[in-house]
Chains A and B, each alone.
Chain A
Amino acid sequence: MINVSIVGASGYGGGELLRLLLGHPQAAVKQATSRSHLGEYLYQVHPNLRKRTQLKFCDPAQLEPVDVLFLALPHGEAQKKIAGFAGLAGKIIDLSADFRLKDMALYEKWYGAPHAAPEWPARFVYGLPELHRAEMAGASYISGVGCNATASNLALLPLVKAGLIDPVSPVIVEIKVGSSESGAEGNAGSHHAERANVIRTFSAFGHRHTAEVIQEMGLSHVSLTMTAVDLVRGVLATAHAQVKPGVTTKDLWKAYRAAASENPFIRVVKEQRGIYRAPEPKVLAGSNYADIGFELDESSGHVVSLCAIDNLMKGAAGSAVQCLNLVMGWDEMTGLDFPGLHPL
């Protein structure tokens, strides 16, 4: 059993981390910090945790040494304090965007400011086990993953890994997202009267998560278009690409089946019966699974690749706990066996 603490535990990502870690058979939650909810019981912010813990939010200044420290701070905060956090724990798993990008010029381009601790990102393993599993064994520092980047990267993973698409051809990823992506802090756009019932394209080009797809997939010409839909949890990435000449549907089946075989949380959904014939985020709420699927127009070579995830799980806290399992040498599915709900 190890001790873990969570810094910035009052947000949605922190709440999911708490839910997962409080039920994890190998981890004990020691402290959870929040300045804005100092002294409150965790369940007063995360009501699903009532009767699961009597912990209260504490001040970050009260943090004590632990085995693993999770950081769930707003973007830009962890990089300012990373040296201090590293003094409290030998292992850090961050959920923010602060340590995802390795190229500091790419970071500055996409985040609009220089990194406050440019020597640190290179020490972090990018936190998507499906891409960096081998590097995680025994690693000290794991970065977060962008939820939209994760859906995009997993949609593209079978195609890129098997070399089925030309890496210099344009790749367009249409992404539909739920409201929890924007975090626990409200704004004018998240006001119920404005957010309910929307199909709102809020970023046609230039979403920051694009940089993670460029970095991790090695694609030079990729763009993400973001559309908010009337969901609380969930991301559906629909990637459009061009396969190399001669690639067939059966080649794609082999590539997708291999991805599912190599990764316990990836499932292929390409059904010819029933209602759920393609990946859908709806049935993944609360689950760490990523459902992938595809369709190929063999006459034109146009492939549509899909990935559905729960943005707070595979796109954030679930992947972070999966990383914890790998870092510690445990079964990577430990504490992550919830399959989702149906109906929902």
Chain B
Amino acid sequence: MNTVVCPECEAEITLEASTEVGEIIVCPDCGVDLEITALNPAACQLAPMEQEDWGE
């Protein structure tokens, strides 16, 4: 079973069998977007996320 480690919070994320390179997944713990960069072995990197403006 392929897993990746979130570079933001180090959560171990199990990939679905159908996951493809280039796919964006969401970290279940911290919520960042992750881009799958390889599958054998599996790897990911932080993907750009839209920033919210909280009145700043």
Report which of A254, A257, A271 forms a contact with B31, defined as CB distance below 8 A. Answer: A271
User: CB distance B26 to A273 under 8 Å?
Assistant: yes
**Chain B contacts with A in 22-56, Cβ cutoff 8 A:** 26, 29-33, 49
Most chain-B CB neighbours within 10 Å: which of A257, A268, A272, A277?
A272
Flag whether A112 is at the interface (Cβ < 8 A). Answer: no
Report which of B9, B26, B49 forms a contact with A270, defined as CB distance below 8 A. Answer: B9
Residues in chain A near residue B20, CB distance under 8 A: none
User: CB distance A254 to B30 under 8 Å?
Assistant: no
Which label, helix, strand, loop or mixed, suits the secondary structure of the B interface? loop
A257 vs B29: C-alpha distance when bound (angstroms): 9
Residues in chain A near residue B26, CB distance under 8 A: 273
**Chain A contacts with B in 268-293, Cβ cutoff 8 A:** 268, 270-274, 277
User: CB distance B49 to A272 under 8 Å?
Assistant: yes
List the B residue with the shortest CB-CB distance to A272.
Answer: B31
Taking the closest CB of chain B, its distance from the CB of A151, in whole angstroms, is 22
User: CB distance A253 to B10 under 8 Å?
Assistant: yes
Report which of B10, B11, B32 forms a contact with A272, defined as CB distance below 8 A. Answer: B32
A271 vs B8: C-alpha distance when bound (angstroms): 11
User: CB distance A268 to B29 under 8 Å?
Assistant: yes
Contact string against B for A residues 291-316, beta-carbon threshold 8 Å, 1 for contact and 0 otherwise? 00000000000000000000000000
User: CB distance A253 to B49 under 8 Å?
Assistant: no
User: CB distance B30 to A270 under 8 Å?
Assistant: yes
User: CB distance A250 to B10 under 8 Å?
Assistant: yes
A272 vs B32: C-alpha distance when bound (angstroms): 6
User: CB distance A273 to B31 under 8 Å?
Assistant: yes
Residues in chain A near residue B32, CB distance under 8 A: 272-273
